[in-house]
Amino acid sequence: MCGIFAYNGKNNTVPFLIEWLRNLEYRGYDSAGLFSINNSWEFVVEKAVGKVSNLATQVEKNIDKNISYSNGIAHTRWATHGKVTQENTHPHYSQSERFFVVHNWIIENYMTLKSELEEKYNFYSQTDTEVIAKLFEELFDGNIISTLEKVTEKLVWAYALAVIDKQNPQTLVGAKLWSPMIVWIGQEWVFLSSDINAVSHVATQFTTLEDRETVVIKNGKYEVFSLGNKVEKDFEEVDDRFQAADKWLFETFTEKEIHEIPTVLRNSLKWRINFETKSIQNETLNELNEMDFDRIEIIASGSSYFAWVVWASWFKELADIQTEVRISSEFLYEKFIPNKKTLYIVISQSGETADVRECVKMIQQKDCNTFWIVNVVWSTIARMCDMGLYTHSGIEVWVASTKNVIGQLAVLLTMWISLGLDRNLQMKDAKSLIEKLWELPAQLETQLAESQKYTDLAEKYKKYNNFFYLWRNILQGTAAECSLKLKELTYLHAEAYSTWELKHGPLALIHEDFPVVAINPMWSLREKSISNIKEIWARNGTVLWVISKNDSYREIYNDIIEIPETHELLTPFLPLIPLWLFSVEMAKKLWKDVDKPQNLAKSVTVE
Ligand code: AGP
């Protein structure tokens, strides 16, 4: 996704802009650019297709290092309108090259505006953002703040934008509608960013702009306006929730985040479970139990959706509430029949996924109850819904969501135990589950210690192009999530399928060059799954078998991944780390960029 960034203050702007564009890289992009100016009207404009490092090289070559700049805007572009070219790279500028603009999101009426402006101005790009720059020229009334209001009134749908007027070099203005914009303040400088992770460890305080608010920054001081009226904003302290992401000793950030999982799990549980008394302790969950609902609809996408698929299985196992899991982009465009007795729960790591946000808006327009589970503190979805819980996964920076999936499962499990105890879950059953839950982080740690196994497996399996990930019952979400990881990290094809269902067609695909990853721990359906795998084995299928460590049955497999034995309802946790590491190792052996998979973005902020 596009990322915008802006700086105004006493330091030399350009190095800041480059450094912070790097912090936005994980969002996914394909070009980057910057504009910077000082109070002597000296300015620099640089744009580069490809990585931020290309832009940095270009700046290094072209910039006069004796000049310091004090005001600047920068952008990483994820192509939406127009191809990946230098001309389409932000910042965009007006015909007189007076107004420079960076912009995140989509202006839905840009073609109409462009056709009106083309009578007077020549366009050099295919972007909607250039239209904004031309509008500044067209509507400029001598005051950039009132001009900003006039321009944004003409724009349909969403934007986070930052603008500099070359004639007014001390000033930077920003505005937002729907697309996030955070205002960060430090010692005599102010940042704007479209991402809460971007600046965290240099800023001391931050706030988020609300829709139709504008911010005016001059010489490191700011003012915020709403529809032209000055407003006072509450600022939040930047604390350790925003610790900067770094790689430690790992080859990739993704591996570093996978190795954080035991800590994430402990953090996610400790806020809500008292392991001494084996009881749930959480205000929000107590409030939830007071609410009157007899049905739950869960709305999410990607890995967050698969976490829900797991949870829905748990729910059907132990609570009498009808639960449905819905893909957000589908839920949004089906006929919505609002139900006041339904609790609509949305889950999103970033808290910014566009279709999930639109779902919340649609549900709230019908005055129904919404509950959020997000990871990014103060993200849009967390601020939109009625109530919710953070997953406390820490900053998850890289595209493949791993540690936060575990954080989500932990929150969901706690919610389900709390709701279940309020219905038909017996206290003794809850306590035995909590006991097993307490063992889980240490079990995951032993899995992380065995990571060499997955390197060896990857060496053997990297030659294949297609995989089945087979599941039964409560392992559907796990299989779907792990097949997603293989796809997004290796670009190979992987499909999650019911082991039982194979014989109704897909068994035709079984071949020694089409391996199956069969997830079959020690559980109630183990025997049935063994008979299904036998059918595959009998047809020369290649079987990578995920089984419990103490499972003696070892006849029908080519390779084994052993997982610790645990409470049956906790089995969805245990294949995750091995199969995620398997995908990471496969990607490395196939020379893929594990941290920045092609075509993907961390946060899908456009529908
Ligand atoms: C996960 O590995 C993917 N990168 C992607 O499916 C992600 O889970 C999905 O886009 C949802 O993101 P969210 O949780 O931030 O809403």
Q: Which of 235-249, 279-293, 472-486, 519-533 has the highest mean pLDDT?
A: 472-486
Alpha-carbon span 440 to 338, nearest angstrom: 38
Ligand 1 centroid–CA 300 distance in Å is 9
Task: Report pLDDT for 449.
Answer: 87
Task: Report pLDDT for 93.
Answer: 97
CA torsion through residues 371, 357, 347, 403, sign: negative
The 3-class SS string of 461-503 reads HCCCCEEEEEECHHHHHHHHHHHHHHHHHHCCEEEEEECHHHH
Ligand 1 centroid–CA 593 distance in Å is 17
Work out the average pLDDT over 286-311. 88
Alpha-carbon span 34 to 46, nearest angstrom: 6
Instruction: Confirm whether 2 is a catalytic residue.
Output: yes
The pLDDT tens digits of the residues spanning 104-146 come to: 888 888 999 999 999 999 999 999 999 999 999 999 999 998 9
pLDDT band at residue 248 under the 50/70/90 scheme:
low
Q: Using CA positions, which residue lies closest to atom 5 of ligand 1?
A: 302
Is the beta carbon of 262 within 6 A of some atom in ligand 1?
no
Is the beta carbon of 298 within 6 A of some atom in ligand 1?
no
The pLDDT tens digits of the residues spanning 82-94 come to: 888 999 999 999 9
pTM: 0.71
Cβ(28)–Cβ(350) under 8 Å?
no
Work out the average pLDDT over 402-424. 89
Cβ(55)–Cβ(32) under 8 Å?
yes
Q: What angle in degrees, to the nearest 10, is found between the helix axes of 427-449 and 403-421?
A: 170
Take residue 95 and report the two structure tokens written for it: 């015909």
Instruction: Confirm whether 602 is a catalytic residue.
Output: yes
Q: Which residue has the higher pLDDT, 228 or 38?
A: 38
Work out the average pLDDT over 347-367. 91
Task: Give which of 49, 30, 376 is closest to 196, Cα–Cα.
Answer: 376
Please state the atom number of ligand 1 nearest to the C-alpha of residue 350: 15
Maximum CA extent, the chain: 81
Work out the average pLDDT over 435-454. 91
pLDDT at 317 over 90: no
The pLDDT tens digits of the residues spanning 167-209 come to: 999 999 999 987 889 999 877 789 998 876 666 666 778 898 9
Please state the atom number of ligand 1 nearest to the C-alpha of residue 400: 2
Paired strand residues for 327: 300
Ligand 1 centroid–CA 231 distance in Å is 35
Ligand 1 mutation target, pool 78, 304, 359, 374, most atoms within 8 A of CB = 304
Ligand 1 centroid–CA 404 distance in Å is 10
Which residue is catalytic, options 2, 359, 368, 482? 2
Q: Which of 12-26, 163-177, 215-229, 588-602 has the highest mean pLDDT?
A: 163-177
